[in-house]
């Protein structure tokens, strides 16, 4: 049931949310979840989910609390799971531990849960409430929640530009438009992403690694995740013409690379961590729409896009971008420089996609702008 929450309730849920953030670089494809157990106004147990296959937040909190969990209130950032996956259901664990009440920030849209966890609690006579700091909890797991609700990943399109909206000189020179702090900021987004999307054109032109450069992350992040340096997002490369070769830098990091095309293709000459995604389109479906559905099936929560103007424009035109993240450098490149994105069939102002500004902050000498589609 829902009920008015006290400032103390909000403080304990905020603590749970802060704990959940400790897993945001490592939990994919699972959500980031935190749990706090409180008895007589005192925190007796706390935990967060660190990695898929490892104990969930509730289990970690119950372990810390021990017998003190009996009669406690559990503050959880996401409805306790109700199904057996790689770990037992947390809702039953809370029942067996004898907690008296569970407050969840939000319901879990995963069809395997979707209210069933709360029902287990109710059937056991445990009081529950939902909705405390729900918006904060939504922001924490945007990728997981979108995939559960739509079957597709949350798409973040990263763009770097000059003040006059250019991304490179006419020659293609673009290193570096933005400063070192902005590039380090990008590494945090890469590290949180399930996958990075680019194109064979970008790979041929720039030969990027498209990996997480952990050494550029802030000291507190590096200290916390030193043991996770090998976790890299999947690199997804659109390569219909099969131009990508195995000697490119994208294969120098031993983590999955998925080449995407629409016809049969052999990966004989590629490293064993390479896979090929042959897209089978449904009637009326574009290549990019088919790709998003396939990535959702492969448990990609958040897709970070770093590519040229053509793919950027196509994603925007097909309304596939959930969030625009733009780094604006204090430079002017002139009218001969390359444009930010190519929007097809845009002939009048009324057709221009409209975006809503979410945040604006300086990152070194650059400016980071975050927009969502309005």
Residue 64 in tokens? 């810390």
Q: Which two tokens stand for residue 13?
A: 């849920």
Ligand-binding site membership of 86 (annotated):
no
Annotated binding residue 360: no
- For the chain, the 3-state helix, strand and coil shares in percent, each to the nearest 5, are 30, 25, 45
Establish whether 174 is an annotated binding residue. Answer: yes
Torsion over CA: 336, 338, 343, 344 (sign): positive
Contacts of 117 (CB under 8 A, 6+ apart): 79, 80, 81, 82, 89, 90, 91, 108
Q: Is 234 in contact with 258 (CB distance < 8 Å)?
A: yes
64 annotated as a binding-site residue? no
**Is 309 known as a binding-site position?**
yes
Residue 209 in marked binding region = no
Q: Where are the beta strands (DSSP E) in the chain?
A: 34-39, 42-48, 73-76, 101-104, 127-130, 154-161, 166-168, 195-199, 234-238, 257-261, 274-278, 302-305, 323-328, 338-339, 355-363, 366-373
81 is in an annotated binding site: yes
Q: Tell whether residue 176 is among the known ligand binding residues.
A: yes
Query: What residues does 278 pair with on adjacent strands?
Result: 261
Report the DSSP beta bridge partners of residue 101.
73, 127
Is 206 annotated for ligand binding? yes
CA distances from 56 to 27, 88, 120, 121, 315 (A): 10, 9, 17, 17, 35
Annotated catalytic residue within 58, 79, 216, 323: 58
Q: What is the DSSP letter of 72?
A: P
The answer to whether 58 is a known catalytic residue is yes
DSSP 219-287: HHHHHHTGGGTT--PEEEEE-TT----TTSGGGSS-S-EEEEESS----TTS-TTEEEEE--PPTT--H
**56 labeled part of a ligand binding site:** yes
- Asked if residue 311 belongs to a known ligand binding site, the reply is yes
Q: At what angle are helices 57-65 and 90-97 packed, to 10 degrees?
A: 20
Does the annotation place 160 within a ligand binding site? Answer: yes
Residue 235 contacts residue 196 (beta carbons within 8 Å): yes
213 is in an annotated binding site: yes
Beta bridge partners of 352: none
Please identify every residue annotated as catalytic.
58
Residues tagged in the binding site annotation for Zn(2+)? 56, 81, 90
Residues tagged in the binding site annotation for NADP(+)? 160, 176, 202, 240, 308-314
Residues tagged in the binding site annotation for substrate? 174, 190, 206, 210, 213, 306
Residues tagged in the binding site annotation? 56, 81, 90, 160, 174, 176, 190, 202, 206, 210, 213, 240, 306, 308-314
């Amino acid at each position: 049931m829902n009920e008015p929450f006290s400032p103390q309730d909000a403080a304990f849920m905020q603590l749970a949310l802060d704990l959940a953030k400790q897993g945001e670089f490592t939990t994919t494809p699972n959500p980031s979840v935190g749990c706090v157990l409180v008895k007589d106004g005192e925190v007796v147990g706390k935990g967060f989910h660190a990695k898929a296959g490892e104990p969930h937040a509730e289990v970690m909190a119950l372990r810390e609390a021990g017998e003190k969990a009996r009669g406690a209130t559990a503050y959880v950032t996401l409805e306790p799971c109700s199904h057996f996956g790689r770990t037992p259901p947390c809702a039953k664990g809370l029942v067996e531990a004898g907690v008296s009440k569970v407050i969840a920030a939000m319901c879990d849209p995963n069809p395997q849960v979707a209210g069933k966890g709360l029902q287990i609690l109710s059937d056991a006579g445990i009081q529950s409430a939902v909705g405390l700091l729900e918006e904060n909890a939504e922001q924490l797991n945007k990728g997981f929640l979108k995939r559960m609700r739509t079957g597709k990943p949350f798409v973040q399109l990263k763009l770097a530009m000059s003040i006059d909206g250019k991304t490179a000189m006419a020659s293609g020179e673009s290193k570096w438009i933005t400063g070192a702090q902005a590039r380090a900021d990008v590494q945090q987004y890469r590290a949180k992403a399930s996958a990075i999307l680019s194109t064979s054109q970008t790979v041929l032109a720039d030969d990027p690694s498209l990996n997480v450069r952990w050494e550029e992350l802030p000291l507190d992040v590096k200290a916390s995740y030193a043991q996770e340096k090998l976790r890299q997002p999947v690199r997804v490369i659109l390569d219909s013409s099969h131009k990508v070769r195995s000697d490119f830098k994208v294969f120098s990091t031993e983590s999955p690379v998925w080449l995407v095309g629409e016809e049969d293709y052999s990966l004989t000459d590629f490293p064993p961590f390479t896979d090929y995604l042959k897209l089978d389109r449904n009637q009326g479906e574009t290549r990019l729409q088919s790709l998003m559905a396939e990535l959702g099936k492969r448990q990609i929560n958040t897709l970070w896009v770093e590519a040229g103007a053509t793919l950027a424009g196509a994603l925007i035109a097909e309304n596939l971008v959930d969030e625009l993240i733009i780094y604006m450098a204090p430079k002017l490149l002139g009218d001969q420089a390359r444009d930010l994105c190519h929007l097809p069939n845009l002939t009048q102002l009324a057709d221009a996609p409209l975006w809503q500004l979410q945040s604006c902050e300086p990152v070194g000498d650059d400016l980071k702008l975050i927009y969502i589609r309005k």
